[in-house]
Structures are given as C-alpha cells and as structure tokens.
Chain A
Amino acid sequence: MALARRLATPALAALPLAFLGVFFAYPVISILALGLAPGGALDIRAALDVLTQPFVAQVAWFTLWQAVLSTVLTVGLALPGAYVFARFEFPGRRLIGALAIVPFVLPTVVVAAAFLALIGPRSPFGVRLDHSIVAILIAHVFYNYAVVLRIVGGVWQQIDPRTEEAARVLGASRWRAFRTVTLPLLRPAIASAASIVFLFTFTSFGVILLLGGAQFSTLEVEIYRQTAELLDLRTAAVLSLLQMSALVVLLFVYSRYQQRNAVQQRQLSRPMVARAPRTAAERALVATNLLVMALLLGVPLLVLIERSLAVPGGYGLQNFQALFASTQLSALFVPPIEAIQNSLAFAAVATLICAPLGLAAAFVIARGRGRLASGFDALLMLPLGTSAVIVGFGFLVALGNLPFDLRTSVVLIPIAHAIVALPFLVRSTVPVLRSVDQRLRDAAAVLGASPTRVWREVDMPIVSRAALVGAGFAFAVSLGEFGATLFIVRPDTPTMPIAIFRLLSQPGALAFGQAMAMAALLMFVTGASVLAFDRLRADA
C-alpha cells in the first residue's frame, strides 16, 4: 500500500512530463541551442553581448511594468464580479458568465477593430486612446477578466457561506469576516488567476502591436521580430531565456506561496445555491458589477456584432450569407463553414489530449509537497511564457528527428493547443483538489472504503466539477488559439481565427464585413461551447 502510493505519483507525473518533454522541452531546447551554440560551441560572450544592448533593458522594463499594472487592474475589477457570480442569482447569470469568456478567444486583429471603433479616430465618445498605454491596459483587462472570474468564482462557489455567517453572528464586521474567513480561503485561487493574467500580459504580443503601435515593444514582440523576420536566433534565444527565467522565478515564488497558504476546508459537495440579492446594497453591488462588465466586455462585443451586420446602405445578413456561399468570390480555399468544423474538431481533440494529462498533473501537484510539486507546476506553466514562434520553429528543427515526422502533420495543431490549454486545466483543478479535507478521505477509509472508492466518492465529485471548468477553458482556448497555429507549418485546414485573418488580408469593405461576420460566429461558437460545459458541470 505504501509502496503503491509512492509509485503512484511518479507514474502519474510521467504522463504530462513525457508529453511536455517531447512537444515542448525538446523543441524549445533544440532551437535555443541552435541560437546559443551555433556550430556546437556555446558562445557565452556573444550571448552576454546581446543582454547588454540598451534596448534589452528598456524592453524588459516596459514588459514588466505593463504586466504588473494590467494584472492589478484585472484582478481589482474582476474580483467583485467573481463574488457576485458565486453568491447571487439574477436573470441571465449563466449566459453572462459564459459570454464573459468570449473576449478571451477573439483574435487581436478583431478586438483591435472593435476598440478602434470605440476609442479611435471616429470614437462616438470623442476620446482618442488608440496607440497609448491606456488602450493596452483596457485591452488586457478585456481579455483576462474571464480568467479571474472563472478561476476565483469557481472556488468561491465551493466556500460554505455559513462560515462567514458564523463570524458575523459572533460580531465580526462584514469586512472583517471577509478578511479573516473568506479571503484566506480564496487567496490560492486569486494567486492562481493573477499568475495566469500576469503570464499572459507579460508575454502579450498582438495587443501591444495592434493597440499600442510600434513605439511599444515587449520581450515577446522582440523575440518574434528576431526569429520570424531577422532570423537572428542568438538574440531570440537570449531574449527567450530572459523571459522564461523571469517567469520561472515568478512561478516558483507563486508555488511556495501556494504551499504555505493552502487551507483545507470542508468542501460543499454541491455548490451553494446562489440566491437573489436581498438588500438594497446587494442589489446595488450586483448592478454595479453588471454595468462594469457591460461597459468593459459587452460594448466592444456589440460593436463587433454591429460591424458584422453593417452592409452598404444599412444593416443586413449579407456578410453572413457571403460566408456560406462557396463561390469563386470567396478569398478562402474552403467554405467558411468548414473552418467552423475544423475549429470544433481541433478543440475537441485538444481537450481530449489535455484532460487526462491535466488531471494527472493536477493530482501530482495537489498531493505533492515541496519543491517537486513547485517545479512541476512551473514546468506546466512555462509554455505560456514561451514565445509561440520559438515553439513553432522548435518543432521544425526538433521533430524531424523523431521516428514519425510530425512536422507537417495536422496533429500538431491540437497538440500545440493542448500545450497552451494544459495550465488552465491544471490551475482550475489544483486549488480544489488541495482543499479537499483529508479527514473526509480518512473517514471514508476508516469506514472501509478502498483507496479507489475514496477517490471515486470523495475526490471525484468535487474534482470533476473543477475539471469541467478547466476543460471548458481548454476548449475555448483551443477555439481562439492563433499565435501558435500560425507558426506551425500546416496543411490547409484553416481554423476560424485563421479564416478571419485571411479575410482581413484582402482589401475591401465586403472582406472586412465577412471577417466581422466570422468573428461574430466565433463568439457564438465559443459562447455556446462554454455554456455546454457549464451545463455538464451543473449535472455532474
């Protein structure tokens, strides 16, 4: 029994490790080696010379402070939202919760179009914020709001409100009850969500380029330029290592923090039923949050829908009809309906790859203690901190050496999506797994349950809900994935974001309208998928 237990963890860890080893570590190490040791000899001096160029410090500093500011803003704005969604019932709650994730999957070129319509040259509010840091920050909040809402909200739902009520009965103020009872329970989830938001904004690419303009540059932007345009692999490798080291430090600190702050609590076997807001203050809180979400997330999305319906001389469905007409007129190889099928198929395969790997990894991290678990967690997060172009080019130089030449296989697309989605699944699951009260397991064991039965009856009901949140996230991430897909050499199986990108590569008002129509469809497909996963979760 003890031996089985000791072997179980490494066995579980082997699965995600092997996957990431082959499809992430090996390609990335290969391309970095090519940059740092051209000809086989490591040239430390040349590498250090890259680091001491003045632009590196400048870019690194900008990368850091915009990421910190974006993260603080996103968490600050989304935390009240997470509370409202975890605790209160109101009309449209589910729908709004699902729609909140839509921004997360939209290609930046589409989002930039929406933002420019609102705060660009023809702003209806008369404000011009395009090509400014303000536009970058707003877009980062727009993109990442759902990360905090879903990860923190998911945990908040599982916290028994009666503990806080008990504190209130004992005389604690509302604030004190929150601070001393709820916050400590939430902290791991907040840290988890914040670290993802930080990772995303630290490695921000499209938003910086499209909304910030050429005067802003992050490490990620520089790595892209050095690799894809200049083929200066040394500079690209040094900058990649700089970016990855910064993130490893952050992740390690984060993991230690999580270890110290893990709190076991009695988990609700079912999420506490949310109730309607009762007092005027509660109603005001719900209303204020919905208003913030409407302004921040709703308005840009509505602008996109408006654009997709705009046709010469008014509104109509012509843009959508053009998408489904497979004529020679179409700039795409395939009717766009096929892009929808491709996207859904890739997302399904990516989620299927991701789910077992993610659950195994989450289990290892939650059970493990100390540096092993921390290192493992950091390793899983590292792909998010690695430039897509580095991974894509790494595939090319490394995967040709495998027995099966996967470099040009369509399978690489869901694999790349799964790598990107893996951390979401893990992050949604670990906090919940960690908080399962050990005494529940012990009690079950004492009552004669076998270890598998303990897992099935105690862990599983709690974990499956969290895993479904993660799987939904993974599915959505795959639907919207663009960066990694673009840098993989791939057969012509365009996904929806690629189709949007292609439509926007043709001049003309109709091509623009069709791209917006495709973006509207992407929003719809994403919203529907997330709703479907939410339904599964409710049934679980």
Chain B
Amino acid sequence: MNRLVRLVPALLLVVACASPSQTPSQTLLPTISLAPTDTPASAAPGTPAAPPSPTVSPTPTPTLTEPPATPGPTLVPGGRVTLVTHDSFAASDPVIHDFEAQSGQTLKVLKGGDAGAMVNQAILTKDNPLGDALYGVDNTFLSRALDAGIFVPYTSPASASVAQEFKLDPQNRVTPIDFGDVCIVYDVQAGSGSGAVGIPQTINDLTMPAYKGKLVVEDPATSSPGLAFMLATIIRFGETGDYTWLDYWRDLRANGVLVVQDWNDAYYNEFSAGGAGGDRPFVVSYATDPAAEIYFAGETSGTPDVAKLDDGCFRQIEFAGVLAGAKNPAGAQAWVDYMASAEFQSDIPLNMFVFPVNPDAQLPDLFAHYAAQATDPLTMDPQTIAANRDSWIQQWTDTVIH
C-alpha cells in the first residue's frame, strides 16, 4: 500500500513534467468545440492574414478571376508546404517536382488514415494545425470541417473555370478538386455465361428474388462508399411516403444483402470479380472500377470484368483548403492553386481514379474509354448530410444489422 502511494505521485510527476508550464487542460479544452455549430466559424484570431473572403455571389464566374483586393501572404522561396491528406492521396513524382520547381517550395505529405479520421484529426488539432493545407475532405464530411472552422477562405484563381455545382462552400473556404460516383458495380459474368442472373435495370430490382444473396454493401458507419450508397437510397426513396429508404433496406435485408466493414473486404473477398473468390456479383463500389481494372492489369485497353449500374449513383466531391493557423499560408495557397491547375488535374485520374473538376484537364484515353460518369448522379447538400448523418446511420444499423 505504502509503495502504491509512492507510485502515484511518481506517475503524476512524469505527466506533469511532460507538459509545459501550464496544464494542457487549460490551454486545450475550452478552445475546441466539437459540437457542430450553425454559424460558420471565421478565421481564428491571430492567424496569418488571408485574402478577404469574396462576398457570396449567387452568379458564377465574374468576381472569381479578379485578383484579391489586398495582397495575400507572400510566398517565401525555400519554404516548406505541409499537406495533410488521407491514405488514398497519390500523385506522379514529376508532377510533384513541377510544383516544387515552380513555387520554390518543398512539399511534405502527411497521411492520417481514411478521410473521416483525417478530418477528425484536423478538427482536434485546429489550434495548432499539423500542416498548411488539407486535401481529401469530401461532401459527406464537409460541413463538419467547415463548422469546426479548420479552413480560412481562399479563392483560387485556378478554379475559375470549374462548374458552380462543385463549389459547395459559398465562402470559398474549400476548393473543389475531384469527384467520383459511387454506384452498384457488377461482375459482367453475371449478365452472361453460366450462373448468369441478368443485369438489373434499377437499384430497385436488387430486392427481387433473382438477386437473392447477390449483393454486398459496406457499413455506412465505417466506410465512405457505404455511406454514399446509403445517402443515394435516402435521396431516391425519401424518408416519408409509401416506400421509404428504410423499406428498401428492409427488402434488401430480406433478400440476403451482406454487410461488410469496408471497401477492401467487399471488393476483394465477397465480390465475385474481385480476385479472392467471393460469390456475390454486385458490390457497392466506384464507377471508375472498369478503368482501374484495366490499368492495374498493366493494359491500355481490353474488356473489363466489371461494369457499373447507371442508377442510384452518389456523387462524392473532394476538396482542398488552406488550414487556419497554417505556418506557411502562402505556400498552402500555392499548393491549392496547383491542385486546381490543369497540370495537376490531368494527373489525378490514373493516380486516384476520380474525375478532375477542371474542364481544362486532359483525361487519359484509358479513362475516357472505360470510366464513364453516372448519367444522373444523386447529390445532397452537405449541411443536410451533417445534420442527419448520425441519426441515419443509427436507423440504418437498426434496420439492417439488428
């Protein structure tokens, strides 16, 4: 007992020594607000001067190409830009080197798990950010990031020609970079050959007996495509009426839908065209899969084993922004400009298998041939997603799992 008493102060001493003079709870706790607020946070005081945010303009284009009224932070040659991003970020080496040569900055890339984890890490560290710019927040997480005030407004001249539908933040705290459609992807063998079940016309058909035990989806609580498909069903079937989205999921469940944790598991282990010997010909995945299949097989053309169902597709848009409290805000702006430029945008498809938002970007032939966009993608306003996400996931879990 006596010795235990000695141990406790020793431990406390260690902890105390590890922290600076003031206790961390005093400096840290009150300033981080985890609860989303309705008012968008402005740039934190004390952050380096950012260009004034342009006023909300309902009409596209005109004001965007004008230079900022007051000069922004200036680029210091020899500086270092730190990019915080998710594990899926990839770019060709020459493209990164071009940025470094053009801007005189070196780029350091920090990766922090999947998009959700990465955004949450950025929120937790917003008073002392890990980097200067962040890339990879998508429309399903956008509101949480904006409400927490992790970005400062920056209107990139490079994104002047980008369609207005991608610019989801009127205050331009984030710049759209790329988009992709999450769809039902099927094994083309399912349409012909032995054991063919036929290709459904719509996602509604997947509740029919012919498709019993044929579909694998990801858990929306742990997977980004899983969440996207759940949102697609909410948009498609609605929350009220004769047949709600939960009715649809009830029917899918009765029809033997399999729920797995993440995309890897769904695609490789359960999907029949995924390689590991799954037996389900339908999977929630990305519309660009046919192009990726061919590309990663080392080919430039061929007959993909998979195709997408052009119905019930949800459009994910990814953004980049300048972090509040960035040590090198000018470098961060230069990086955001570069990501939005035609050069970087043309490099995006074969590295991340999503579509560039910049209409001036050149699509590789492979992509142009095999990666079709959804004809009529479903979208949802980020505020609506943020306000309902947790409750929808809970309802989904109660309906499909329990």
Q: Which residues of A contact B (CB under 8 A)?
A: 10, 13-14, 17-18, 21-22, 25-26, 29-30, 33-34, 37-40, 109, 112-113, 116-117, 120-122, 131, 209-210, 213-215, 224-225, 227-233, 307, 322, 328-329, 331, 333, 368, 370-372, 375-376, 379, 389, 392-393, 396-398, 400-403, 405, 407-408, 486-492, 498, 501-502, 504-513
B11 near A21 (CB under 8 angstroms)?
yes
Within 8 Å by CB of B11, from A25, A112, A117, A224, lies A25
Q: Could you tell me the distance in whole angstroms from the C-beta of B280 to the nearest C-beta in chain A?
A: 8
- How many angstroms from the CA of A397 to the CA of B10 in the assembled complex? 23
B7 near A40 (CB under 8 angstroms)?
no
Within 8 Å by CB of A39, from B29, B88, B110, B285, lies B29
Nearest-neighbor residue (CB-CB) of A217 within chain B: B401
Within 8 Å by CB of A17, from B11, B27, B298, B350, lies B11
Q: Which of A10, A37, A229, A375 is the most central at the interface, judged by chain B CB atoms within 10 Å of its CB?
A: A229
- How many angstroms from the CA of A182 to the CA of B400 in the assembled complex? 52
A residues near B286, Cβ cutoff 8 Å:
507
Interface string of B1-42 (1 = CB under 8 A from A): 101101100110011011110001111111010110000000
B32 near A507 (CB under 8 angstroms)?
no
- Is B60 an interface position by the 8 A CB rule? no
Within 8 Å by CB of A504, from B11, B18, B144, B264, lies B264
A231 near B144 (CB under 8 angstroms)?
yes
Q: Could you tell me the distance in whole angstroms from the C-beta of A327 to the nearest C-beta in chain B?
A: 9
Q: Which of B19, B24, B128, B292 is the most central at the interface, judged by chain A CB atoms within 10 Å of its CB?
A: B24
A389 near B117 (CB under 8 angstroms)?
yes
A510 near B20 (CB under 8 angstroms)?
no
Q: Could you tell me the distance in whole angstroms from the C-beta of A118 to the nearest C-beta in chain B?
A: 10
B residues near A371, Cβ cutoff 8 Å:
1, 3-4
- Is B293 an interface position by the 8 A CB rule? yes
Nearest-neighbor residue (CB-CB) of A31 within chain B: B124
- Is B310 an interface position by the 8 A CB rule? no
Query: Apart from A30-B25, A329-B298, A375-B4, what are 15 other A-B pairs with CB-CB below 8 Å?
Result: A21-B11, A21-B18, A109-B268, A113-B276, A121-B278, A122-B278, A209-B260, A225-B222, A229-B221, A371-B4, A372-B6, A501-B264, A504-B268, A507-B306, A512-B274
B:289-304 near A, CB below 8 Å: 289, 292-298
B131 near A408 (CB under 8 angstroms)?
yes
B261 near A403 (CB under 8 angstroms)?
no
Nearest-neighbor residue (CB-CB) of A29 within chain B: B15
Work out how many contacts link A and B, with CB atoms closer than 8 A.
236
A508 near B221 (CB under 8 angstroms)?
no
B residues near A512, Cβ cutoff 8 Å:
268, 274-276
B residues near A40, Cβ cutoff 8 Å:
25-26, 29-30
A121 near B82 (CB under 8 angstroms)?
no
- How many angstroms from the CA of A224 to the CA of B120 in the assembled complex? 12
Q: Could you tell me the distance in whole angstroms from the C-beta of A55 to the nearest C-beta in chain B?
A: 9
- How many angstroms from the CA of A536 to the CA of B30 in the assembled complex? 53
Interface string of B116-133 (1 = CB under 8 A from A): 111011011100101100
B residues near A307, Cβ cutoff 8 Å:
276
B401 near A214 (CB under 8 angstroms)?
yes
Within 8 Å by CB of A487, from B117, B259, B278, B353, lies B117
A407 near B259 (CB under 8 angstroms)?
no
A329 near B7 (CB under 8 angstroms)?
no
Interface string of B255-270 (1 = CB under 8 A from A): 0001111111101111
- Is B277 an interface position by the 8 A CB rule? yes
A120 near B121 (CB under 8 angstroms)?
no
Q: Which of A231, A376, A401, A511 is the most central at the interface, judged by chain B CB atoms within 10 Å of its CB?
A: A231
- How many angstroms from the CA of A230 to the CA of B306 in the assembled complex? 32
A residues near B350, Cβ cutoff 8 Å:
328
B130 near A408 (CB under 8 angstroms)?
yes
B residues near A329, Cβ cutoff 8 Å:
295-296, 298
7 contacts between A and B (CB under 8 A): A13-B10, A30-B25, A209-B265, A231-B34, A502-B87, A505-B264, A509-B275
- Is B181 an interface position by the 8 A CB rule? no
Nearest-neighbor residue (CB-CB) of B28 within chain A: A397
- How many angstroms from the CA of A327 to the CA of B279 in the assembled complex? 33
B390 near A230 (CB under 8 angstroms)?
yes
- How many angstroms from the CA of A29 to the CA of B30 in the assembled complex? 16
Q: Which of A10, A25, A333, A490 is the most central at the interface, judged by chain B CB atoms within 10 Å of its CB?
A: A333
Within 8 Å by CB of B28, from A30, A215, A231, lies A30
- How many angstroms from the CA of A109 to the CA of B267 in the assembled complex? 12
B87 near A505 (CB under 8 angstroms)?
yes
- How many angstroms from the CA of A305 to the CA of B353 in the assembled complex? 29
Within 8 Å by CB of A490, from B11, B28, B110, lies B110
- Is B84 an interface position by the 8 A CB rule? yes
Nearest-neighbor residue (CB-CB) of A369 within chain B: B3
- How many angstroms from the CA of A376 to the CA of B10 in the assembled complex? 12
- Is B90 an interface position by the 8 A CB rule? yes
Q: Which of B18, B280, B285 is the most central at the interface, judged by chain A CB atoms within 10 Å of its CB?
A: B18
- Is B48 an interface position by the 8 A CB rule? no
- Nearest 4 pairs between A and B by C-beta? A21-B14, A508-B296, A121-B279, A372-B3
How many residues of B are counted as interface, with CB atoms below 8 angstroms from the partner's CB atoms?
87
A213 near B258 (CB under 8 angstroms)?
yes
Mostly, the A contact residues are helix
- Is B369 an interface position by the 8 A CB rule? no
Known: A396-B125, A489-B112, A506-B296. A228 touches B29 (CB 8 A): no
- Is B219 an interface position by the 8 A CB rule? yes
Known: A116-B269, A230-B390, A487-B113. A225 touches B28 (CB 8 A): no
A492 near B111 (CB under 8 angstroms)?
yes
A residues near B3, Cβ cutoff 8 Å:
368, 370-372
- How many angstroms from the CA of A392 to the CA of B130 in the assembled complex? 14
B residues near A37, Cβ cutoff 8 Å:
25, 29
Within 8 Å by CB of B293, from A21, A38, A224, A507, lies A507
B116 near A228 (CB under 8 angstroms)?
yes
Q: Which of A37, A117, A210 is the most central at the interface, judged by chain B CB atoms within 10 Å of its CB?
A: A210
Q: Could you tell me the distance in whole angstroms from the C-beta of A317 to the nearest C-beta in chain B?
A: 15
B:244-260 near A, CB below 8 Å: 258-260
Within 8 Å by CB of B292, from A120, A233, A508, lies A508
A120 near B14 (CB under 8 angstroms)?
no
B residues near A224, Cβ cutoff 8 Å:
222
A residues near B270, Cβ cutoff 8 Å:
116, 121
A117 near B276 (CB under 8 angstroms)?
yes
B265 near A210 (CB under 8 angstroms)?
yes
- Is B114 an interface position by the 8 A CB rule? yes
A residues near B10, Cβ cutoff 8 Å:
10, 13-14, 17
Within 8 Å by CB of A489, from B111, B264, B292, lies B111
Within 8 Å by CB of B24, from A30, A209, A227, lies A30
- How many angstroms from the CA of A233 to the CA of B265 in the assembled complex? 27
A residues near B110, Cβ cutoff 8 Å:
408, 489-491
A396 near B124 (CB under 8 angstroms)?
yes
- How many angstroms from the CA of A489 to the CA of B262 in the assembled complex? 21
Nearest-neighbor residue (CB-CB) of B123 within chain A: A231
A residues near B390, Cβ cutoff 8 Å:
230, 232
Known: A26-B19, A371-B3. A214 touches B260 (CB 8 A): yes
B residues near A489, Cβ cutoff 8 Å:
84, 110-112, 118, 121, 130
Q: Which of A109, A224, A489, A498 is the most central at the interface, judged by chain B CB atoms within 10 Å of its CB?
A: A489
Q: Could you tell me the distance in whole angstroms from the C-beta of A380 to the nearest C-beta in chain B?
A: 12
B128 near A331 (CB under 8 angstroms)?
no
Nearest-neighbor residue (CB-CB) of A373 within chain B: B3
